[in-house]
A and B are shown apart, each in its own frame.
Chain A
């Protein structure tokens, strides 16, 4: 009897280890996470407008139907990325996610403080290579460091009422994310 109780206790303790291990491993093995859902519809380093969510179909669960959204699935291995998002009249935000859909940075139109949100996305290693003088002359240039070489940028513009949805769709459709053709360090 005691033997079985000890085995049961051992099993429960081991179960705790199994539980923690599965929770930690799950994000790496998930086949239907947001990044995987976006992969077939969003080519790398291009802004792709997402269809508005409807009861029949939505790219991802829990999308806000009051927002027009677009994504840029990025890969920084070839160089930094330049992102330009025109601000819509109501509310516009740009959120950055790692490959495993963890949000690491977000900025909205008011924080950006101008009509167009412009920023450079690069890895920490690429940031180190930006010459210092360049960084000073481009003081108004916002640099965001990505913790992973790949990830997703979500661009979202709000339509406070349904009649304003075309304006919001226009704002996200006019967004651009392009690889910087000329590496920053060769510029004079």
Chain B
């Protein structure tokens, strides 16, 4: 009897710990070879055959096709530079420049990867659409209500993520965070 309860206890712990860790790892999108630059993070290796088992599992679970490394690199951000999670009810400002790439796109998704409905049917910007200042820097306002300039509507949802995809770029597996890869700064300007 003691052996039985002991075994069942150990197996229950194993199931709980094992499945819990798997769920946690995949819902966090964990994989090796992360390239964090300021608040942004990319997993260039996920778009190659060298993708590790965690990357493979999270790709399969999400049901997406990752951006292949020969195509581009995809950076994600979920919190501003102060670590505050992006809130669709606040006005959030992205400012600065992006690493060198032939084209880039910035897209707003909810945490399931769906686009967010809004009154002007704008889901993101491309590098060609953006209005820049004379020095090449740009400012994008991500906010629930219309703003002058580059306005990206949030639809007022609570949590979202921004994905910056660089196409035809030198940024990749061997890139180190630094001067050559400047990412836009993100700050929460005002919250209701």
Residues of chain A having any CB pair with chain B under 8 Å: 3-4, 7-8, 10-24, 26-27, 30, 32-34, 36-37, 53-56, 58, 60-67, 90-91, 93, 95-97, 100-108, 110-111, 147, 152, 154, 156, 158-161
A101 touches B65 (CB 8 A): yes
Question: What is the CB-to-nearest-CB distance from B22 to chain A, in angstroms, rounded to a whole number?
Answer: 4
Which bucket holds chain B's interface residue count? 35 or more
Contact in complex: B11, A11 (CB < 8 Å): yes
Q: Is A16 touching B17 in the complex (CB atoms < 8 A)?
A: yes
Q: Of B82-90, B122-130, B132-140, B181-189, which stretch is located at the interface?
A: B122-130
Indicate which residue in B60, B165, B167 contacts A33 across the interface (CB closer than 8 Å).
B60
- Are B9 and A11 within 8 A (Cβ)? yes
Is A27's CB under 8 angstroms from B102's CB? Answer: no
Pick from A8, A11, A37, A65: contact of B115, CB under 8 Å: A65
Given known A111-B70, A160-B126, contact A11–B14 (CB-CB < 8 A): yes
| 6 tightest Cβ-Cβ pairs between the two chains A and B | A18-B18, A61-B113, A11-B13, A15-B17, A106-B70, A106-B68
**Residue contact B60 to A30, C-beta cutoff 8 Å:** yes
The 28 listed contacts between A and B (C-beta, < 8 Å) are A4-B6, A7-B9, A11-B14, A11-B17, A15-B18, A16-B18, A18-B22, A19-B18, A22-B19, A26-B57, A27-B57, A30-B61, A32-B63, A33-B63, A55-B115, A55-B117, A58-B115, A61-B109, A61-B114, A63-B64, A65-B107, A66-B105, A91-B168, A95-B70, A102-B51, A102-B56, A103-B47, A160-B128
Q: Which residues from chain B sit less than 8 Å from chain A, CB to CB?
A: 6, 9-22, 25-26, 47-49, 51, 53-54, 56-57, 59-72, 102-103, 105, 107, 109, 112-117, 123-124, 126-129, 163, 165, 167-168
Q: Give min CB distance, B146 to chain A, whole Å.
A: 18
- List A contacts of B124 (CB < 8 A): 64-66
A23→B114 contact, CB < 8 A? no
Chain A residues closer than 8 Å to B10, beta-carbon distance: 7-8, 10-11, 14
Q: Are B17 and A26 in contact (CB under 8 A)?
A: no
Asked whether B17 lies within 8 Å of A18 as measured between CB atoms, the reply is yes
Smallest CB–CB gap between A3 and chain B, Å? 7
Q: Which residue of B lies closest to A57 (CB)?
A: B114
With a cutoff of 8 Å between Cβ atoms, the chain A residues found around residue B103 in the complex are 90-91, 158, 160
